[in-house]
C-alpha cells in the first residue's frame, strides 16, 4: 500500500476535526461508511430527547408549545441548516419529508413559469424526486414533458421551453457532484427555475445556494446532518420567491395566524408558508441538538478532510480494482465528487453483505453498486485503511461466496 | 352539588378502566382535561424510545431498517389503529400529518368522481381541513365549488353535484358529533364519496368505518392515541377503493418496489401507496408503544365511561352556568357528543389561564370557547368534581381578572 499506517496515523493526529469524533457515539469496533444513509447518533441527543419526553411531554404537556418553544422548532432548526448551505436564516424551514418538500417546491416553481411545459431532471436522480414529479404531472393532467436525461445530455436538455430544472446535487449512487453554479446559471439563462435536492450535500461540504442564485432547494435531516432515522427534512425558498411561492399543501401551520382558526387560508408571509401540519417534536428536537455538532465547524476544513478521505479510499482501492474487478463509479476530479465513493461489481450485493459481517458498514444500491459514505465529522483516516484491508480479506478469501451473503434482504 | 364526593369515589372504585390510569404518567396534582389536544405520556414509551435511540439508532444503525422492523412500522401501527376505528388491518397506515393525509385522500376521492365539481364541508370544520381543500382547489384551477355550510344546513347541501363530503366527526370546538352512518349513507345516495377526519374520534370512542361504509378517513396520533407531540397521523382507504386511489403524493415509500430504485413510479398494490417519504422512526415507535395501552380495552366500555365523565361534568357545571354565564356548547344528547365538553364565555381566555394556573388544564379556542377533553383511559370521576370546584373558585374569587391572565399567548 502506498500510504503507510504511520502516515495515516499522522493524518489523524493532525486532523483539526479529530476531536469532533467524541461528539458521536460510534459503536465499538465498527467502521461506519454509511453516514450518507443514516448518520450516527450524536452524544448530546439522548439527553435532549430524555428531557423532551419526560419534562416537556411528560410533565409540562400541552404548555410546552410555548414554554419549551415547540412552535418555533421548525424555524430554529431551519436557521441552523441555513448556515451550512449558504442561505439566510429566514430562507430555510424544517418540515415533513424530502419527498413532500420536492412536491411543494416543484409545484410552487411551476406556478412561477405558467407558460412553460417542461421539467428537466437526471434519469439517475434519486427515484423519489422523479416519482414526485410524475405525481405532480398526473395532478396537472399530464401537461408537462418530463425530460429525464443522462448526465452528459443535461446541458443540451435545458432550453427556453423548460420551467424547472430539478437535480440532486450529488448522485446517490455514483457520488457524482453537479456544478451547481454552472447549471443554475444555464437554467436562468433560459428563463427557467432551479430546484436542488441537497440530500447528499447538506452537512457533507459547504453549499452556496444564494451565491449560486438557486431558487428552491430541499434536503434530508438523517444523512450528513445526523438527525436520526426519518428525521424531518428541510426546504429552502430564496427570499425573492417567498411571497409568490404558493403553498398548495396549505395546512394550518403555514397560515398567517394558525391560532385564529379562521376558515379562510391566508399564507404566512415568510418561509413558514412551506409548513403544513403539526411538526414531529421528537424528530425536530433530535435534529436541533444534532446540528449543534456543526457549531464552530469551518465547512471548508470539513470539505478538505472529506476529499482527503475519499482520495485515500480511492487510492487504497486501486489494487483491489485490478485484482478483483471493482470499477470506480465516482469522479476522480475533486470538484465533481461528493463525500462518497462507489464501485460497481457484478457480485456487489454479496460482497457488501460479507463486508458488513466483517464490521465495515457501507451499502448496496441496485443493480450492482457498492456505496461508501465518508462523514468527515467522525471518520478517521486509519479507518479508511482498515476498511480496505477488510474488503481485501473478503475478496482474497472469497468470503462473499458464503450462502448467507447471497440472500437478498431489503436494504436502505 | 347533586353528586357527592362519596358517590364519585364509588364510581372510581368500580371503574373497569380504573387500573389503566397506571399505564400513564400523570403529573402529580395536575387535572389534565386536554388529552384531546395532546395525550399524556404512556409509561411504556420512554423505555421504548430509549431502546430505539441507544440500541437501534446508536448501535445497530442502518441495519435496524430490517433488524428492528423500521420498514414495517407504518403498517404495524396502522393495523393497531384499525381495530379502534372499525377497519381491517390492511386498510390503515400511519404516515405524515393529518393535513397531508387530507390532501392525499381528498385528491384520490375527487379523481374517483371526475365529472363532479362540489366539495361539501362544515364551515366549523378544523381549519386545516378547509385550508387543504382550498389548496387542492387552487391546484385544480379553482374548478370546484367549496360548499362550506353550517351544521343545520349540511344535509341539504349534499346533492347529486357533490364529489366529496369531508367532515370531522367531532367538532373540535363544540364537541358536536356527527351521525357518521346517516351522513355517509346520504352521501352515497347522492353518488358522492365520504372523507372523515377522526382527529377527535380515534381512541376516544368506538368508530365503525366499514360498518358505516366510509370511503376515506384520516386521523391524528397525538390526541386520544397518546402518541406524543407531532406523532404521525394515519390514513384509511376502504379496500374497495385501494386499487383506484391514485397517490398523487407519489414518493418512494409508496412504490411497489422501493428498493429496486426504478425511475418509473408504480404504486404499491396496497395501502402502502398512501405513504410518501421515509417515516419518522422516533414518532412511529412512540405511537406503536402508546397504542399498546388499548390492548384488551373494550371500546364500548370506554365509551360508557366517556359519557359518564362528560355527563358528570355538565351536571356539575350547571350552577356555574347560572351564576357566571357559561354557555354549554356541547350537545346533551349522547349520540351527538364526542369525548369533550365546551362552554362559551366572553372572558374565556382569561378564565382558562386562571384555571390552568390552579392546576386544571383545559384549553381555549378562539373566539370564546373553553374546551375540556375527557380521556376515559386515565381520568377519574373525582377529578371531574375537583376541576369544577377549582373553576368555581376562579370565578367566585375573580382570579381571572389578574392582569397576568389577560395576556394572550399562542395556545394550541
Check residue A188 and give its pLDDT: 98
Q: What is the mean pLDDT of chain A?
A: 96
Mean pLDDT over each residue of chain B, to the nearest integer: 96
What is the model's pLDDT at position A410?
A: 54
Which pLDDT score is estimated for A408?
Answer: 76
For residue B147, what pLDDT is reported?
Answer: 98
Q: Is the pLDDT of residue B311 over 50?
A: yes
**Residues of chain A contacting B45 with CB distance shorter than 8 Å:** 53
Whole-number pLDDT of residue A105: 98
pLDDT at residue B3, rounded to an integer:
63
Annotated catalytic residue A380: no
Note the ipTM here.
0.97
Q: What is the pLDDT of residues A1-58, one digit of tens each?
A: 456 899 999 999 999 999 999 999 999 999 999 999 999 999 999 999 999 999 999 9
**Alpha carbon separation from A72 to A64, A284, B60, B239 (Å, rounded):** 11, 10, 32, 39
Q: Is B330 annotated as a binding residue?
A: no
The pLDDT of residue A152: 97
Looking at residues B82-96, what average pLDDT do you find? 98
B222 is an active site residue? yes
Which of B353, B326, B346, B354 lies closest to B410, judged by CA?
B353
Q: Is domain B47-294 in CATH 3.40.640.10, yes or no?
A: yes
Question: Could you tell me which CATH number the domain at A5-32+298-405 has?
Answer: 3.90.1150.10
User: Across the interface, do A283 and B283 touch by the CB < 8 Å criterion?
Assistant: yes
User: What residue spans define the domains of chain A?
Assistant: 5-32+298-405, 47-294
A211 included as an active-site residue:
no
Residue with cell 434519486: A126
- For range B331-339, the mean pLDDT: 98
Distances (CA, A) of A30 to A27, A224, A370, A386, B55: 6, 18, 18, 11, 14
Return binding residues of A for pyridoxal 5'-phosphate: 98-99, 126-129, 168, 197, 200, 222, 252, 278
- A47-294 matches A5-32+298-405 in CATH topology: no
Residue B412's pLDDT is 44
Average pLDDT over residues B322-331: 98
Q: Would you say how long chain B is, in residues?
A: 412
Q: Residue A168: which H helix or E strand, with range?
A: strand A162-168
User: pLDDT, tens digit, for every residue of B102-141?
Assistant: 999 999 999 999 999 999 999 999 999 999 999 999 999 9
CA angle A195, A199, A200 (to 5 degrees): 120
Q: How far is A93 from chain B (nearest CA, A)?
A: 16
Beta bridge partners of residue B176, listed in sequence order: B337
Q: Does A28 touch chain B (CB under 8 A)?
A: no
- pLDDT tens for A84-139 read 999 999 999 999 999 999 999 999 999 999 999 999 999 999 999 999 999 999 99
Percent of chain B whose predicted confidence (pLDDT) is above 90: 96
Strand spans (E) along A103-161: 118-122, 145-149
Please give the pLDDT value at position B411: 47
Beta bridge partners of B171: none
Are the Cβ atoms of B97 and A96 closer than 8 angstroms? yes
What pLDDT is recorded for position A179? 98
pLDDT of the residue at B1: 45
**Is the CB of A34 less than 8 angstroms away from the CB of B61?**
yes
Distances (CA, A) of A375 to A328, A338, A353, A412: 19, 11, 21, 18
A107, A248 Cβ separation under 8 angstroms: yes
Give pLDDT tens digits for B5-18. 999 999 999 999 99
> Per residue in A151-188, pLDDT tens?
999 999 999 999 999 999 999 999 999 999 999 999 99
Q: Using only C-alpha atoms, what is the Rg of chain B?
A: 22
In this complex, the residue of A49, A131, A255 whose CB is nearest that of residue B255 is: A131
A367, pLDDT greater than 60: yes
On chain A, the residues whose CB falls within 8 A of the CB of B25 are 58
Interface list for B 250-309 with A (CB within 8 A): 250-253, 255, 258-265, 276-284, 286
Q: Among B233, B255, B279, whose Cβ lies nearest the Cβ of A230?
A: B279
What gap in Å lies between CA A355 and CA A361, rounded to an integer? 7
- Among the listed residues A147, A173, A177, A223, the single catalytic one is A223
Cα angle B42-B47-B53, degrees, rounded to a multiple of 5: 120
Q: What is the pLDDT of residue A4?
A: 82
Amino acid at each position: 500500500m502506498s500510504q503507510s499506517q504511520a502516515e495515516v496515523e499522522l493524518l489523524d493526529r493532525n486532523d483539526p476535526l479529530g476531536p469532533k469524533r467524541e461528539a458521536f457515539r460510534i459503536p465499538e469496533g465498527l467502521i461506519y461508511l454509511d453516514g450518507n444513509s443514516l448518520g450516527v447518533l450524536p452524544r448530546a441527543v439522548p439527553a435532549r430527547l430524555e428531557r423532551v419526553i419526560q419534562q416537556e411531554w411528560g410533565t409540562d404537556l400541552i404548555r410546552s408549545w410555548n414554554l419549551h418553544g415547540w412552535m418555533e422548532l421548525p424555524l430554529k432548526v431551519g436557521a441552523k441548516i441555513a448556515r451550512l448551505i449558504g442561505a439566510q436564516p429566514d430562507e430555510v424551514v424544517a418540515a415533513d419529508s424530502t419527498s413532500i418538500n420536492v412536491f411543494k417546491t416543484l409545484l410552487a416553481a411551476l406556478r412561477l413559469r405558467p407558460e412553460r411545459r417542461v421539467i428537466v431532471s437526471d434519469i439517475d436522480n434519486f427515484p423519489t424526486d422523479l416519482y414526485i414529479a410524475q405525481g405532480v404531472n398526473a395532478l396537472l393532467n399530464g401537461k408537462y414533458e418530463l425530460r429525464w436525461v443522462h448526465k452528459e445530455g443535461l446541458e443540451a436538455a435545458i432550453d427556453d421551453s423548460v420551467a424547472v430544472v430539478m437535480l440532486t446535487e450529488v448522485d446517490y449512487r455514483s457520488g457524482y457532484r453537479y456544478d451547481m453554479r454552472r447549471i443554475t446559471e444555464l437554467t436562468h439563462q433560459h428563463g427557467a427555475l432551479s430546484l436542488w435536492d441537497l440530500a447528499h450535500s447538506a452537512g457533507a461540504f459547504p453549499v452556496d445556494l444564494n451565491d449560486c442564485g438557486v431558487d428552491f432547494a430541499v434536503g434530508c435531516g438523517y444523512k450528513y446532518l445526523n438527525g436520526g432515522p426519518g428525521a424531518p427534512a428541510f426546504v429552502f425558498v430564496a427570499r425573492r420567491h417567498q411571497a409568490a411561492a404558493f403553498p398548495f399543501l396549505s395546512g394550518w401551520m403555514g397560515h398567517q395566524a394558525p391560532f385564529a382558526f379562521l376558515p379562510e387560508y391566508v399564507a404566512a408571509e415568510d418561509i413558514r408558508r412551506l409548513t403544513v401540519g403539526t411538526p414531529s417534536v421528537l424528530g425536530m428536537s433530535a435534529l436541533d441538538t444534532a446540528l449543534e455538532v456543526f457549531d464552530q465547524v469551518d465547512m471548508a476544513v470539513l470539505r478538505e478532510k472529506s476529499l482527503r478521505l475519499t482520495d485515500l479510499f480511492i487510492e487504497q482501492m486501486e489494487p483491489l480494482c485490478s485484482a478483483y474487478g471493482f470499477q470506480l463509479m465516482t469522479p476522480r476530479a475533486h470538484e465533481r465528487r461528493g463525500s462518497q465513493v462507489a464501485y460497481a461489481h457484478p457480485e456487489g450485493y454479496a460482497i457488501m453483505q460479507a463486508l458488513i459481517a466483517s464490521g465495515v458498514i457501507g451499502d448496496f444500491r441496485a443493480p450492482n453498486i457498492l456505496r461508501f459514505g465518508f462523514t468527515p465529522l467522525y471518520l478517521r483516516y486509519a479507518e479508511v485503511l482498515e476498511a480496505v484491508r477488510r474488503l481485501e480479506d473478503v475478496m482474497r478469501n472469497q468470503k462473499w461466496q458464503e450462502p448467507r451473503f447471497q440472500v437478498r434482504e431489503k436494504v436502505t
